[in-house]
Structure 1
Amino acid sequence: MPLAPANQSQLIRSIQKDEYYQTFLRNNANEAFQTLAGSKRWLDWRREIELLSDIAYYGLTTFSGYQTLGEEYVNIVQVDPTKRRVPSRARRGLFVLCHAYFPYLVDKVLVCLENELECGQERHSGAGQRRAASGPWWSLELWLRRWMQRAVGLLSEPQRRACVPAVFVLHQGLTLLHRLHATLFYISGSFYHLSKRAAGISYLRVMGLSSDDGTIRSSYRLLGALSLLQLFVTVCLQLNRFRQKQRARQEWKLYRNLRYRNLRYRGLRYRNLRYRDLRYRGLRYRGLRYRNLRYRNLRYRDLRYRGLRYRNLRCRDLRYRNLRCRDLRYRSRVPSSSGLYVRAEF
């Protein structure tokens, strides 16, 4: 029976059928684990359960040398780059690791790296130690967190701030890489997954060429061209958005510096006004004190003048009284027969 390369529609239907059975296996595994261990532990180990489900699915089919349910559904078989033999066990093992385990590992590494960069100095706090001590010693997340702590600890503060947008760009770059690879698949018709391209696994269909095979490939090439155009527009929009974020961040830094300068200017102006106010109050206090002292001096002089005048008047009064007393004494004397004045008695 002649074998021909599988077209895009057959590969897509095979992948959709595999994803359906993978989802069914994941749901059953999640329900079983949640029933046995509880919802809290299921939330902690949900990603690991899905990873084990995918490894079990591809381990029992591809790695064991059998067709997957999707491949059996559309009658396609895996071949190596020579198109003459089935892939070796090493190629199939590489495909299973790259397809199931590698995305999980990359996601864990990026999440841990992003958390460590955002936390900064808080990674050495007690809460971080409690989280690290709460997990088992064989936990992959624990080992990754410790490794990231040592790696980020070697970086300086400017390097950490520069790595934060780099991690974001890496996240977006992986998404765009998958979309670009899907676009190339629509155009060329081979290697829908990056893992199969890395392992060099392609497909041949058991049935011969059909009459509408050329039409299907032309339609998918048109879809690939439109997807490529959409991808180009998306990249331009994301670059523009990234530049706007960078510009907004620079404007915010400039605004923060200007605000600090403004607050500093206001503080200096307030100090100057307060100094002027205190100086004015001091001068005013000195002026009032001078006026008060001058008033006291004038009052003292007035009182002194009044005292002196009072003393003079009193002295005059006493002098007048003395003179009057003398006058009365003189008038009270009468001449005696001997020619002397004697005091008159009545």
Structure 2
Amino acid sequence: MTLFIQSGPAEVLRAVQKDQILFELIEKKISTLLIKIFGTVTWLRYRQLVHISSKFLYYTFTTLSGCQTLGEEYTNIIQVDLTLHQSPSFMQRLMLAILDACGFTFIDHSVSKLERRIFENTFLHEKFKCKFLQCLGIVKASLPFLIHFHHAVFYWDGTYYNIAKRLTGIKYILAKPWLFKERKLYGFKILAAITIINLLISSLHSTWKWYITNPEYYKKNIVTESKNSGKCSLCLDNRIFTCSTTCGHLYCWYCIFNWLETNNQCPVCRDIIEASRIVPLQNYN
């Protein structure tokens, strides 16, 4: 008879939500300090680094130090390896911190850099540029799908909420197993089924939309952007797929939508903007 009981999805989910609040609080404090000392432009240039460093700093003082995170302490769960009898090794915890803090950011940044390299390459034919950019666009669009699909798997089996924990083999057990009660997890399984159905419908719709409109969209934007030497205020590089906000400021398409995932204000004038109101400038010179 085992003395350790694996935690369920409810405890893990509450711990993740609690830790996310603390991530955002640390990031907000660092961002405020950076803006006050170096100004908004510097913060915009290094905001991704601030996001990564905030998470890694939190992991340094909790997971890497061999302690529970505040979310784990709040829900009385403890990190263990695949055997459920030993604490994860330092290398497992270090890989967890690195992957969770900057894994997807690194992939997204690398794909964006590759997009710019292909776009600026003067030796490639326009037709091949379109095809390469379409493929890279599929890769970037697949990242959120992968995250949501992994969450659906978590709702079904209740083991790994983060992909980083799945890759490093880190699970959770209850710190107080004597408080364990038999739980009905049908609600989470229903949520998993709904999430999968929603992902399938969204994927089919996105695929149909991409098949109908994307080739012409990329073709027009390659011609347009080759004539445009304007700088994006977010990445501080030449704009790619220029779009305009309702307040009239211009950004890269990917930059402004990445920004709107965590902010609803224009990075320049702080006017309230909505993702649905962003306008792609397909004939901008």
Which digits, 9 at most, give the CA deviation of each residue in 1:298-333, with x for residues without a partner?
xxxxxxxxxxxxxxxxxxxxxxxxxxxxxxxxxxxx
Which digits, 9 at most, give the CA deviation of each residue in 1:142-173, with x for residues without a partner?
xxxxxxxxxxx7x6654433211001100111
Whether contact under 8 Å (1:2, 1:207) holds in the other structure is no
Q: What is the SS of the residue equivalent to 1:77?
A: strand
Pair 92,249 (structure 1): closer, same or farther in 2 beyond 3 Å? closer
Paired amino acid for 2:156: I
Structure 1 residue 180 corresponds to structure 2 residue 149: yes
Give the alignment of 1:127-276 within 5 angstroms. 158-208=127-177, 213-215=182-184, 217-245=185-213
Paired amino acid for 1:102: G
Q: TM-score, normalised by structure 1?
A: 0.59
Partner of 2:88: 87
**CA offset at residue 34 of structure 1?**
1.3
Pair 33,112 (structure 1): closer, same or farther in 2 beyond 3 Å? same
CA RMSD of aligned residues (A): 2.4
> Higher relative contact order by CA 8 Å / sep ≥ 6: 1 or 2?
1
Distance 1:69 1:203 in 2: 14
Higher-Rg structure is 1
Distance 1:106 1:228 in 2: 24
Q: What is the SS of the residue equivalent to 1:4?
A: coil
Distance 1:226 1:232 in 2: 10
Partner of 2:76: 75
Q: What is the SS of the residue equivalent to 2:79?
A: strand
Paired amino acid for 2:36: T
**222-231 or 237-246: bigger deviation:** 237-246
Q: What is the SS of the residue equivalent to 2:86?
A: coil
**Alignment gaps of 5+ in structure 2:** 221-285
Distance 1:92 1:157 in 2: 46
Distance 2:128 2:116 in 1: 15
Q: What is the SS of the residue equivalent to 2:173?
A: strand
**CA offset at residue 101 of structure 1?**
2.0
Partner of 2:102: 101
Distance 1:53 1:247 in 2: 39
Partner of 2:265: none
Paired amino acid for 2:110: V
Paired amino acid for 1:96: A
Q: What is the SS of the residue equivalent to 1:204?
A: strand
Distance 1:34 1:189 in 2: 40
Percent identity over paired residues? 24
Paired amino acid for 1:193: N
Give the alignment of 1:110-129 within 5 angstroms. 110-121=111-122
Partner of 1:290: none
Whether contact under 8 Å (1:54, 1:100) holds in the other structure is yes
Q: What is the SS of the residue equivalent to 2:177?
A: coil
Distance 1:163 1:247 in 2: 11
Whether contact under 8 Å (1:2, 1:206) holds in the other structure is no
Structure 1 residue 36 corresponds to structure 2 residue 41: no
**CA offset at residue 4 of structure 1?**
1.2
Which digits, 9 at most, give the CA deviation of each residue in 1:216-241, with x for residues without a partner?
x1110111011111111111111211
Distance 1:234 1:112 in 2: 27
Partner of 2:266: none
When the two structures are aligned, how many residues end up with a matched partner? 219
Q: What is the SS of the residue equivalent to 2:161?
A: coil
**Alignment gaps of 5+ in structure 1:** 122-152, 253-346
Distance 2:49 2:22 in 1: 18
Distance 1:191 1:5 in 2: 11
Partner of 2:12: 11
Partner of 2:244: none
Structure 1 residue 60 corresponds to structure 2 residue 61: yes
Which digits, 9 at most, give the CA deviation of each residue in 1:62-108, with x for residues without a partner?
11111001000000000001111000011111111111122221121
